[in-house]
Amino acid sequence: MKMVGIILAGGRTSSMGDLTKRRADAALPIGACYRAIDFSLTNMVSSGIENVAVVAQSASGSLNDHLSQAQWWGFGRKRGGLHLINPTITPEHQEWYRGTADSIWQNLRTLEKFNEPYAVVASGDGIYKLNYEKVLEQHERTGADVTVVCVKQYPGAILSRYGLVDVAEDGRVLRLKEKSENETEGLISCGIYLLRREALMKLVTESVEAGKYSFVKDVLVPIVENRKVYAYVHDGYWKNVAYKDNYYEANMDLLKPDVRRELLETEPLVLTRPGDEPPARYGEKSSLKNSLVGNGAVVNGEVCCSVLFDNVTVGEGSRIVDSLLLPGVKVGKNCVLENCIINSRTEIPDGTVMKDYGRE
């Protein structure tokens, strides 16, 4: 294969509050039974990428546990594999990752072991389906030094959260703009980049040696003027879940038939590590409408337009509407939850009424 994959999964956004207190953004539960990183991993496997390095750091315990059985994504063979990398503290090196460029630089030994000529660098908190082989085809056709995967601006997108990309008619990047409150024009960068593996190693080395540690700000932005950087426009669904509203919306979007069909019901199917829970159970007085329910759940109440993850319990007389109940949540009897995000293993007492809880 021509490409090696690098998933940057070390991020933990402070705006996510308790949702990422004990888990990285890439380990966030999605769609009743998946984790956010499953989408990037599936994209790489389905694109024929045999070597994937997952670079983790903050609150990585949940992520490490999820990825501990690599065979579920088709790894574990003699050739290729899933390489989970955490910071290594030694007497000679006492630094944690100081930025995205530094996280790649600190793991150059792993990159040096690979033989693939190209590298795909992707964030672990994007929800999308993409064949990276198509990105490579455009990359080689244009003779690009770097290809940046982008999407068009979509309704409701808060542009200050993303890098924006100005492009010429032929797709060449004229300007790559970091997150700014003042920028409103351009394509949205998805945080996915394709370039030659050796060039990547050289660029991050030069940046870190100069005391600069951000892959976008310190590596990519400066080379736009003198290197051939092109945009690949992804025309499918994409959302970053590093913000609470995005996270909520991404799960709610999966209740829409067209999004669910694109992401979950068409090949390649999203790969994940399955749990050992039995199928969900529904009581005689239960009601379920337009919802996703994970294995091990027990539903004795009404659930409408919601996502219930594995081992969630909903008591008799309770009503769950437009809400996310993460793994292990227990809702008592005669409760009402509307527009809520309930974190894992939370217990809701009988008779509780909650609206918009966990959304701020």
Per cent of the chain over pLDDT 90 is 75
| pLDDT for residue 254 | 98
- The CATH 3.90.550.10 domain(s) of the chain lie at 3-265
| pLDDT for residue 167 | 97
How distant, in Å, are the alpha carbons of 122, 162, 237, 288, 318 from that of 100? 11, 15, 25, 43, 45
Confidence of residue 23 (pLDDT cuts 50, 70, 90): confident
Buried-state track 11-28, b at ≥16 Cβ within 10 A, e below 16: bbbeebeebbeebbbbbb
Q: What's the pLDDT tens digit per position in 145-171?
A: 999 999 999 999 999 999 999 999 999
Per cent of the chain over pLDDT 70 is 94
From the DSSP assignment, how many helices (H) and strands (E) are in the chain?
9, 27
- Look at the block and give the residue holding tokens 């190693």: 201
DSSP secondary structure letters along 50-117 = -EEEEE--TT-HHHHHHTS-GGGGT--SSS-EEEEE-----SS------SHHHHHHTTHHHHHH---S
pTM of the model: 0.94
Q: What's the pLDDT tens digit per position in 36-84?
A: 999 999 999 999 999 999 998 765 678 888 888 888 888 865 556 888 8
Q: Cα separation of 179 and 53, whole Å?
A: 26
What CATH class does 3-265 carry? Answer: alpha beta
Q: Between vectors from CA 37 to CA 241 and to CA 34, what angle results, nearest 5°?
A: 90
Q: Please, what is the average pLDDT of the chain?
A: 92
Residues 6+ apart with CB under 8 A from 332: 315, 318, 347, 348, 349, 350, 351, 352
Q: Cα separation of 337 and 331, whole Å?
A: 9
Q: What's the pLDDT tens digit per position in 95-134?
A: 678 888 998 998 888 889 899 999 999 999 999 999 999 9
How distant, in Å, are the alpha carbons of 138, 229, 294, 310 from that of 344? 42, 42, 13, 10
- Look at the block and give the residue holding tokens 């949540």: 329
Q: Cα separation of 30 and 39, whole Å?
A: 10
Pick the CATH number of 281-355 from 3.40.50.2300, 3.40.50.620, 2.160.10.10, 1.10.10.10: 2.160.10.10
- The CATH 2.160.10.10 domain(s) of the chain lie at 281-355
| pLDDT for residue 182 | 84
Phi and psi for 193 in degrees, rounded to 5?
A: -135, 145
Confidence of residue 93 (pLDDT cuts 50, 70, 90): low
